[in-house]
Structures are given as C-alpha cells and as structure tokens.
Amino acid sequence: SPEPKHAGCKSHELAPALHSSTMAYEQNLQQVPSRGADENEEVAVVIDDVGEDVELAPALHGSAMASEQNLLEVPSRGSDENEEVSVVDDVGEDVPEAIPAKPSVAKAVGESAVPAVTPATSFAPQELLAEAMDHMRRTACTVLNKSTGKYEFQSVLDTSPSEMGHLGVGVRLYFEFTKQMGWVFFIMTLLTLPSLFFNLTGSMVDDSSPLNNAIGQMSVANLGNCPAAGCRSNAELRERCALRFHLPLIRELADGACDLKVIDITEWLGLLDGIAILIFMIFGVFFAHRLIPRIVRMTDAAQITPSDYTVWIPHLPKYLPEDHARYEQVVTEHFQKILKSGKVKVEDEDAIEDVTLVRDYDGAIMNFKDKGVFLQKIENTRVLHEHACVRGRTKETGKHSKTIAKLEGKVAAIDKSLRHQAQKTDADRGVCSAFVTFKHEEYKEKVLDEYRLAQHGLFRCCQSEKLQFAGHKIKVQEACEPTDLYWENLDYEVWKRRVRKAIVGVLTLIVLFACSGVIASLQSMSQQSPGTISKTTWVVANTATSGSSCLDLCSVEFFTSSNCAGRSSREWATEKIFDNSGTVALGAPHWESSCATRMQGCNNGTSLAWIGVEFNQLHAVGCMEVHQADAAPAGELRAYACRSPPPSGSAPSWDPAERCQPMQVVYPKSSTSSGPLQLNSDASCAMDPASYIAEDVARLAKEENAANPAGDPTVSCFCKQQSKGNLAAFIAPPYSPGAKQLCQEWSQELAKTYGQLVGVTLAVLLLNQVLLVLYSYFIAWERLCTVTEMTRSQLLKLFLSQFVNTGLLMALVNSSIKQYPDALFFLKMFSIGTGNYQDVNSQWFTAVGTTLVLTILMQVFSTTVPPLAMSYIVTPLLARFYSRKKVTQEALNQVYTLPQWNLALRLAQSLNVIFCIAMYSGGMPILYPIGCLYCVVAYWLDKWCLLKGSCRPPAYKEDVLKLSMHMLPMAAFLHTAVAAWTFGNQDLFPSRWSILKPLAESLFISGERYDVVMEGYRTGAVYGVTWDFLMARLLDFSREGAWLLMCIFLCCFVYYVIYYICHFLLGPFLRPVGMLLMECCFSCARGHKLADGGSQVAQSPPFREAKHEMEAKGITSSYRLSDNQFYRDAYRALDFTHKKVTQQSLGLPSISKLPSDFTLAAASGEGPQTPPADGEDEMEEQEAGSPRKQER
C-alpha cells in the first residue's frame, strides 16, 4: 500500500499552528476567578498543591500522582525557543519528549496574523497534570474559597440539602424528598408496630424453608393461634386467639378460647394501617403543593443563575430577508422597544446584556461533537508523532501516521454526512430560537408580563403588531439554565419531535411487554405448587383427635393442583384401593361408595384407621376432597405420600405414619363434604435438643427413600436440627462424613431453592439495567430540548419498567385468573393468571412475599453502591490507564473529569422501592422499616457520590420532582387496594361487618349473592378469579378491619377518574378559559406589582456583577455553546468548520485535514457562539460576516 501522507517527519510544516494549547483556550474562553485580577494572567501551578485539598477519591488522586511519575520531567524552556531540552529517558515509548519549537505560522486574514499560541506540550507534564486536576475540581460539585482562591469540595456530613441549591433546584429537591420520605417511613413503622408484634407472636405459618418461614411469620398470614388440636372449622379459624403465651390479663383457656381474639384486634390494626397510608398521602400532597414551591422560591432567592435574567424565544423566523446578517441586533432592538413601551417604560440603552442565537444545524450538533472528538484525537496523535520524529523512532512514526490517516478518514466521512452543513459559517445558517439576557431581573419580568397571553396558541393568533417580531407571532417564556440545554435538539422541528415521541412510546410498550414476558417466565419456572409431592400411593388417615373412632368415607378424590381444580384421580389409572383390613378393590378407576352401604370395617364394628389408593405411576397431589357419612364424621384428617402399598397380608399391622411421608393435618369444612383440602408437607420438627432424631434413624429413612432423600420428612427434620444456628456452614461443601454427608442432598436442594429466589431477583435487577441502556437510546432519539425533559422521560420509562418487573408481575404471575376479558387474551402468553393463588394466603406470603422482600433488600445496596464504585474504583483505574498516552491539556482534562450523577435513574429506583413497599406493606409491615433503611442509605451514599465523586450535574428544574409527586398518590391507591383485599380475607384477617356494608352492597354485590359466591369457593365448586369473586372480595372492603382503607380507595378512584377526564378531554377547552379568568382577576394587581418593580429596578444586581458570583460557585453564566463544558468537542468542530469555510471564501489554502486552534475563530470574528476577542480588527470582522457590536 502507498506510504501514508504523514509517514515522514517533514510533512508537518504547520504543526505549531496545530498544537493549540488547551491552557490558552481555557484562559480565553473561561473566566476563572482564582486566576487573580487579570483574567488572562497565567498562574504557576505546583504539583504539590494538587494533593492538599483533593477530598474526592483517594484512588483518583493516587492515579493522578502515578501518572505524574510516569510522565517526563521536562523543565521549562529557556530564552532560546529552538533549544532542545534534555529529557530523562526512563519511561515507556509513548511518552513524548520536548519538541523543538518552530516559528509561528501567520494566518492571513487580510494582512493580520494570528498571535502565537503556546503549545500544550511546552508545559512541563507536572503542570499539565496540575491543570487537569484543577479542571477536575472546577467541574466537580465544588465551591470557590475566596480566601485561598481554590475550588473546594463540600463536606458530606455538614452540607444540608439547602446548601446544595447551587447544583440546581432539582438536586436539592431530590435530597429533601429522600430525607423526608425516610421520616415518613419511620412514622409509618411506629404506627404498624402493633401489627408486626401480633404477627410475630402468631403460629399460623409453618414452612419447610427457614427463610420463607421467617418472612412469613412477619406477615398477617401468621396472625393468631389455633388451639392445640388445630382450627377444625371456619368458625374456629376466625375465632382463634391473638396471643400464644400467658399474660395476667390475657389467659388462654383449656378449650382454646381466650380473652383477646384476633377478630377483636383486627379493627384497630386496620385502622392504624389506614392512618399510616393517610400520612403517606398527606406528605405527598404537602411536598408537591407547598414544599416544592417554597424550596424553589428559597433557592431562587439564595442562588443567582443566568435564568434569572434570561428569556427564551422558542420559535423565530429562520431568515430575515433584509437583515439576516444583523439578526442579533434586530432581536436586541425588538426587546428594547418592548421595554420602552407599556405602563412602565425602561429607558436603559444597555438593557439587553446578551443575545444567543440557536442556529439551524439541521440536527447535526452531535455529528459536529463526534467530529470534535476525532479532531482532538488527531491533535493528540500529532504531538506523539512529532516527539517520535525528534527521537528518531521510525516505527512509532509510521504507527502514528496511520492513526492520523484513519482519524482524518473518519472526519472526512462525517463531513460527507453533514453535506451542506460542513460548508457553512454560523452567519449563513438559519435561526431557530434565541436566548435574550437582560441587565436586570426586573427587565425580564416586564417582558414576560407583556407576553403572558402568548403562552397559549389561541391567544397568540391575536397578538398585536407591537409584540410581533419581524411580522411573526412569537412566544416568550422563562429560560432554563444553560447546562439544562440539549443543543443538538434545539433546531429540531416540533412536529417531528412529536412523531418521534409517539413512536418511542409504542416501542417502549413493546420492550416493556417483552421484558415482562421474560420476567414472568422466569418467575413461573421458579414457582412450585405449595406442598406438591409425587408418589404412586396416597393414604387418607384418621387422627387421634378427630372426634371419630371410625373413618367412614363415602368417596375420596385427589387433585394435582393446590385448589382441587383441573386434573384429578378420576382420570388416573388405579392399581388397587386398600385399607387397614386389606384390599377393597383392584384396578378400580375411582373409589366411591354409597353412604348407605358402609365400609366393611365400620359395619363390623371395628375401627377403620385409613384408606389408600395405589396408582400405576407417580402422581403429584396438591389437594383432596372427601365425603363422609353423617353419623360420626372425622373433624381432622391427615394424608400420607407412600412409596408403595403394604405387602400382602400386612395391612393390619402396617402404619402409614412410620412408612410414608406425612402431610399437614387438614380440617374438613363440613360434616359431609370437606371442600378443597390443600395438602402440604408436614414441616413440623422439634427443635429441642432432647427431641433430636438420632443419626441412625435418619440414615435408615434415607435408605428407604433413596429416590428422593431430601423430601423424606425424617431426613429433613434431622438436617434442620443439625443445621440449627449454623445453616450456611452446614449446607456448604465439602460434605464430610457424618451428619453433613447424610444431609448432602437436603443441603443441595435447599441451596437450589435459595438460588432460584436470588436468581429471579438478580434477573430482575439485571433486566432493569438493560432497560436503562435501551431507554437511553430511545430518549436520545426523541430529540428533547432540555436535560430536564429528558430526565422526566427517562424517569417515567425506567420507573414503569422497574415497577412492573419488580412489583406487579410478581403478583400477577402467581395469581389464578379464570375469566379474562376478550381484550386481554394475550396475558396468558406471559403466564399471567396461571399461578397457584386465587387469593392471598399463608403460602402466598411465604413464597411470593419472600421473593419481594429479598428484591427490595437487595435494591437498598444494589442501586446506591454502583455509582460510588464508578467514582472511586472504575474512574481512577481508567484515568491511570488512559492518561499515559494523553499529551495535550484537553485530552488530560477529559480523562480526569468525574462521572455524571444520574438523577433520573436514582429517582426512578427510589420510586420503584417506595411503590413496592407501599403496595405490599399492608400484609407485610416489615417493609416499612426496610423503606426507612433504604432512604437513610440512599440519602447519605447519594450525597457522598454527588459531592465527592461526580462532576457538576445539569441544573435540573423542579419539574422532575413534580412528576414524581404527581405519581406518589398512585402508590397510596395501590396500597389501599392490596391492603383492603388482604384484610378482607377472613381466613387471614377475620373481622366483622362495618356500618359501610350497605354502601358497599350498592356498589359491588348484595350480601345474599356474596354468601352464595363465597360458599362456592369454599367448597371448591368454583375456582379462579371470576367477576363474581372479584365483586364479593370488594364487598369485604367494608369490614371493620378495612373500612378506612375502603374510604381512601373510593376517594382515590373518584379523583383519578375526574382528573383524567378533565386533563385529556376537557383540558384543551378549559385552559384558555382559565387564562382569561386569571387575566381578569389579577390584571390590577399585576399593574401595581410592575409599577413597584419598575421604580426599583436596582433591587437586583446587574448581570455583569452577578456573573462573577455565578462563576465563583461554578455555575455556567452564558448560554453560548462555547461556554458549555458538555459541548466543547462540538464547538471545536464548528470552530474548525468556520475557519475552513472562511479561508476558502478568502481564497486561502484549504485546511480540510488539519485541526484548528480554538481561538482562531474568535480572532477571525464570527465563530460559532464565541465571545469576541477584545480589540478585534474591524475589517477582519466585516470580512467574516460578524455583526457583533464593538462595545460588547
């Protein structure tokens, strides 16, 4: 291949003009107060001073010092520029040596020459690094110490949210919200402590998993205690005792009755929960309507920002036929006339401080930004190339030349994609909008008042000629902060942006459904029917405390599901049916007898203890139904899962309690028809050391159940006893001989169960991170104008996706929905409504509740620690790695810039946690202290990350927090719905009907119909969520335990219906009417206010004085593109394009492949949004087409 253009060292005659100093650029474009009285005076920087007050991240500072040691110690040049400086050749190949200086090259614009610019490489590496660290502090969340002249980091402990106003009102509001939300959760925790106390003292939850059992015992599923013989009927279940230990005033009686029943305390527990959620709602309303406006006023009064003096004209005519070259002056003259008109006239000729025009770049700012990045890389590589030439390293020279050629090819490709934009100066481009900065804040207020009716398009149609700009009707509004702007989108047409937003909305829904399907599939794969065990032989046995000496069954039927619905033993092939007297039937498809013809044992006066069924293959059984004779029905039964029936002739001596795996005792609902009896493995196991199972007994049980030793109750109980107090070490390998080896299968199965829980939780968190990246592309494609708008969009999308994946799907996937509306048929594709629970019960809280609590606990740290890791680990490592090959000031500055702190992500994550806690905390009050813990951790870690490890964020407006507060009442609405549904379940939370029952009957279902529907569900005649069941459960909202929640639920429902009707249907018609009414009512007051303000215009300081205060606090004070640190690369490319086009128009040689110095455009006159240099040549300005005023 041909030799690259820059392979030789002699092809860089223009190199000195290319090695523009970023230090000089900073002096020309940034007014740094710490540089003394003279803004352009260069201040010597000593590297030892860098480490004195760097409180950021020690790792980053250490990385900087390590980079300093790796760089060459190049002394300052002497008087002779051509003298080559000796260097210490003790570092790597890529470290540059000093470059012999070449004569400065003049830029011929007329007869003038560009002042010589000191190359960045003429500074010692220590000074470059010191300036990079100084740049890091200037761009971080620091404030200027006027006594020392240095930017200092604020203290994490001593800095309150009110002292963070200089970072933007949105940041201050976020920390205020997080802190106060923590206090709200703390108050809610105190209010629900009685509920948590009674839950912990209950004994209704008994799960085989220690973790599930622990979390289930903190829920309402554990509320109350049944008698020693168990709750044999629904009446006993609802009249159970509240406490299981003796107190002087609460004594448990022998017959199971007690002085304090659950039904007597549920009214008060429900009332406390209702009061807690009322406090939550009041806080949200107070924060949105009182606290946010007050904080905005306080921040505005305490912090002077450019938006206090600036207005934005969003839509201006692109071209002025006669005065387009004087566009800025025409805008200035227009607003001067506005100020001189009206009731209060302003006769100040310098009332307009600055006009910043937003040019029509045809959406190409990001292309220019990419081009600027490549130009900066070219500049950095050219410096390395020159040093390789000086040292005579031919191999390195060829390598750098190829790199330059490749980068220049990319620049050429961008120029080709830019088409006509790469051939224009700023003066040739059209104008989209403008920012007008006034001398005093009162001037801005007067202009905004003149254009107050122009905010609505209907009134803008009738705009007077005096307010029109060049014959065009315009809208004037208060400007956002300079760092809140997305320059790449300001020139995008409104209708195109609306189309993109609609497309992004559809794509967001598609992605949300797809991700929801993935999460739903994972959760459905990990869920198991509670207590479902597969065996060939199943036995139904009488118990000693059943109240009947003979088991007199008419029929028995087993079901696969846990609710006695779907496939049953009627469809299974049966080998035989047997009892303790022998075989009853062989090969019968289903056992059933007439109750008039009693079984043989009972007819002969003997005691029938059990009856069993052997199937020809393994069958999982989760539920059974039995019918008994009327004479002496058994009050309780126990089922057994057996490997095989008793051997022939041994039935009378065969005991299923010794040979089979027991299920929990069940209690038939009535004397004849039992209704659905859910079969769960008996997890009871004595934890008293005196009652521990011997190892020999457990080993024998394992040998008998070799196919599934982990499921054997004896082995399981033995392993639980052995692992008590040291579970983690016991289940972890290696499995040494003895108890650990005996329990190896049990340990692995338990670890698998925990792994599934953690795996689903991690999958949700990982998918949320994937959605963050994906939505960032969607939002960028929307082409929004401000960072605040982008943050609002990102917040809404991230919150919805995270809440759906974390909170909603967990409940929907595990629910059992029988009737789907026709429009929602697709939900079954996502496994929604195909779960095992038609209602909340103890198994729901132990299985689903455990996953939910684990997810929220993991988010306490998984959402707050990664930003700190990025600032204190990833960024220092990257800086240490990349700084070795950075030899220009701008390149080093980029390396040592701290990462951004993402307000949208953190707020979305916080809202997700708050919504999940609010939604499920009625049944699990333990979530309230978890919420309080999250707010404490988030408040301090986020503050630490922002103040010590992040660059200065954009000046977010209060709109982001307003959107959050607008959504917060929905969390309370979801809480009332889920909590009232839980408290209405009479098996979990028994309570009497309240006085609101007639109101609920008129809204939902009658009391008679309620009894019929609920009886059908109790007996198993109907299963799954149907419309009648939904209405019946809504009627339960009117019980004493949920009446307050029902009132809040109905109020929220009515509010949201009215709000959305008014907002979407009546809003377009009501807003103009409201504006007219406001105009009529407050016109007089407005006139007096303006009159007072006009007579006291000196109340606010002039903009030029306020500008110094802004810069001292690190606030960007200009709306120009060149002053925005996020668009320096774009400005570099625009400056280069401007210079190239200007030189081509003057007949000068093309520099299409040479990156230009930042200050050349300023010296040539009209650069892209660049402040003019002092003393610029008038002829040079006219040739470049700049209409700037000399006095500015």
Name the β-bridge partners of 578: 583, 612
What is the pairing mode between strands 677-678 and 623-628? antiparallel
Question: Residue 79: is its pLDDT beyond 80?
Answer: no
Question: Residue 281: is its pLDDT beyond 90?
Answer: yes
pLDDT single digits (tens) 1102-1146: 898 888 888 877 788 889 888 887 787 888 788 888 788 888 777
- Report residue 942: phi and psi, to 5°: -65, -40
Q: Which is more confidently placed, 662 or 228?
A: 662
Question: Residue 374: is its pLDDT beyond 90?
Answer: no
E strand or H helix at 1032: helix 1027-1035
**High-pLDDT (> 70) share of the chain, %:** 74
- Dist. CA 1164–CA 1023, nearest whole Å: 82
Q: Give the pLDDT confidence score for residue 688 in this predicted structure.
A: 62
- Dist. CA 1157–CA 105, nearest whole Å: 12
- Dist. CA 1161–CA 1155, nearest whole Å: 12
Question: Residue 255: is its pLDDT beyond 60?
Answer: no
- Give 1175: exposed, middle or buried? Use CB within 10 Å, 0-12, 13-18, 19+: exposed
Is residue 953 a contact partner of residue 1116, using CB atoms and an 8 Å limit?
no
Q: Give the pLDDT confidence score for residue 65 in this predicted structure.
A: 43
Q: Give the pLDDT confidence score for residue 40 in this predicted structure.
A: 36
DSSP 176: H
CA atoms within 13 A on the CB side of 70: 19
Q: Which is more confidently placed, 972 or 393?
A: 972
Confidence of residue 38 (pLDDT cuts 50, 70, 90): very low
Cα 484 from chain centre: 21
Question: Residue 482: is its pLDDT beyond 60?
Answer: yes
Q: Give the pLDDT confidence score for residue 283 in this predicted structure.
A: 94
Q: Give the pLDDT confidence score for residue 639 in this predicted structure.
A: 87
Q: Which is more confidently placed, 144 or 181?
A: 181
Q: Give the pLDDT confidence score for residue 37 in this predicted structure.
A: 36
Q: Give the pLDDT confidence score for residue 253 in this predicted structure.
A: 43
How crowded is residue 241: how many other Cβ atoms within 10 Å of its Cβ?
Answer: 21
Of 22-36, 155-169, 816-830, 1021-1035, minimum mean pLDDT range: 22-36
Q: Give the pLDDT confidence score for residue 14 in this predicted structure.
A: 35
Confidence of residue 1019 (pLDDT cuts 50, 70, 90): low
Q: Give the pLDDT confidence score for residue 123 in this predicted structure.
A: 37
- Give mean pLDDT, residues 136-161: 87
DSSP 666: B
What is the pairing mode between strands 623-628 and 477-478? unpaired
Q: Is the dihedral of CA 443, 446, 447, 452 positive or negative?
A: positive
- DSSP assignment of 917-942, as one string? HHHHTTT-TTHHHHHHHHHHHHHHHH
Q: Give the pLDDT confidence score for residue 23 in this predicted structure.
A: 37
Is residue 1032 a contact partner of residue 683, using CB atoms and an 8 Å limit?
no
- Give 32: exposed, middle or buried? Use CB within 10 Å, 0-12, 13-18, 19+: middle
Q: Give the pLDDT confidence score for residue 181 in this predicted structure.
A: 95
The beta strand positions in 629-777, using DSSP E, are 637-642, 661-662, 677-678
- Dist. CA 348–CA 1102, nearest whole Å: 12
What is the tally of helices (H) and strands (E) in the chain?
A: 41, 15
- Dist. CA 182–CA 196, nearest whole Å: 19
Angle at 1005 between CA 1008 and CA 980, to 5 degrees: 115
Name the β-bridge partners of 112: 109
DSSP 245: S
CA atoms within 13 A on the CB side of 1137: 32
Q: Give the pLDDT confidence score for residue 270 in this predicted structure.
A: 93
Is residue 265 a contact partner of residue 240, using CB atoms and an 8 Å limit?
no
pLDDT single digits (tens) 913-958: 999 999 999 999 999 999 999 999 999 999 999 999 999 888 888 8
Helix 327-340 with 441-450: angle, nearest 10 deg: 80
Cα 445 from chain centre: 37
Question: Residue 558: is its pLDDT beyond 50?
Answer: yes
3-state secondary structure (DSSP) of residue 670: coil
- Dist. CA 802–CA 799, nearest whole Å: 5
- DSSP assignment of 1067-1115, as one string? HHHHHHHHHHHHHHHHHHHHHHHHHHHHHTGGGSPPHHHHHHHHHHTT-
- Give mean pLDDT, residues 998-1004: 91
Shortest CA distance to 957 belongs to which of 622, 516, 484, 547? 484
- Dist. CA 651–CA 660, nearest whole Å: 14
Shortest CA distance to 557 belongs to which of 540, 534, 532? 540
- How far CA 930 is from CA of 483, 622, 926, in Å, comes to 36, 34, 7
